[in-house]
Structure 1
């Protein structure tokens, strides 16, 4: 007779690595822009671009909790999920909850907008620009820069809401979300079902996603 392990993998190592690298990069990107360290800002921006692209690719070929299709399906159960929160009948979700799915998609959309507009942005003097700004007019590059700046405010707001939600889950609902995103694991007893998807990051999809992301950065650098 076999016994179930006490822990179960919820977040694969690639999801955790990308997540925490983004956490570090966002304030660094803000600081380098504010202090005028544009060479660093561009390098960090291309790094963020590669991470965002990897996450998008991983959403189609990665582990189960990383994929977008199961996440989209969970949105349909948003209303009953909110009902369980109101009634204090909360049960842990394997992967993203319906509410966190909306947060993930909103943050990804903001990040995609941020890195895309950064590629085309041009400063007021035309001295600093993204690697693809040579393919558009100065006026269009300035519009991209304006969107880039405004979108960062939206991104900052979304990050703030994300942190508030984590705090509410921790101190009100008594649900710890940070440690599983560090370790990747949760207690097996949190999920009564015996039929949980296998959730490891397999080597070949990781190599494909990483290669496509790095190749895209290489192409951007050379196009610029």
Structure 2
């Protein structure tokens, strides 16, 4: 590995390995990734009768409910109050985003926190439109479609299709940033979500 110079991030003596992500949060992350991808693939390429697509959606609803609860009652690194930052902190972090050095941030960094909120918001909107959609095929009607007007049911179909595209972009952006951190900033963001342990800046 080439020498990155004096500004190449904290040295070994300035870092500490901590247990960051708890097992439930790690399980949530990988289950959500699996069922969101499965639901998207079934929606795009699956059979006409989307029973499996609906069941993937129900699992995603349960996972989202868990994450919202865990965001308030879970361990400190999982709480929204811990990783949501003000504009000043976000801008300060963004200025160093292109630097070829790891951040060793203790948890979601300020930009990553925004992506978490964006993904959660997009998924909540997506499952909501899925629950009330009625594509007029008498097959794939959302379980709550009868509780809204016909105009709302029809509009929800288009919004659900648009939401699928938005989620695809967010997922691809998420993967691109992970690769960017791995190869440019030399920071592995995947391993901590597997093991729970991460090198962070020493307090």
Match of 2:188 among 168, 173, 176: 176
Q: Which residue number corresponds to residue 197 of structure 2?
A: 185
Match of 1:118 among 102, 108, 130: 130
Gaps of 5+ in 1: 1-5, 194-224
User: CA 1:75–1:57 in 2, change beyond 3 Å: closer, same or farther?
Assistant: farther
Asked if 1:24 is matched to 2:34, the reply is yes
Deviation at 1:41, TM superposition (A): 1.3
Tell me which protein shows more helix as a share of its residues.
1
Asked if 1:154 is matched to 2:183, the reply is no
Matched position secondary structure for 1:146: helix
Distance 1:57 1:84 in 2: 32
Deviation at 1:88, TM superposition (A): 4.1
> What's the TM-score once normalised by structure 2's chain length?
0.85
> What's the TM-score once normalised by structure 1's chain length?
0.77
RMSD of the alignment, in Å?
A: 1.7
How many residues are treated as equivalent by the alignment? 186
Distance 1:183 1:74 in 2: 29
Matched position secondary structure for 1:186: strand
Gaps of 5+ in 2: 1-15
Distance 2:21 2:148 in 1: 40
Query: Any conservation in 1 of the 2:99–2:185 contact (CA below 8 Å)?
Result: no
Query: Any conservation in 1 of the 2:19–2:197 contact (CA below 8 Å)?
Result: yes
Matched position secondary structure for 1:30: helix
Matched position secondary structure for 2:135: coil
Query: Any conservation in 1 of the 2:21–2:197 contact (CA below 8 Å)?
Result: yes
Query: Any conservation in 1 of the 2:36–2:56 contact (CA below 8 Å)?
Result: no
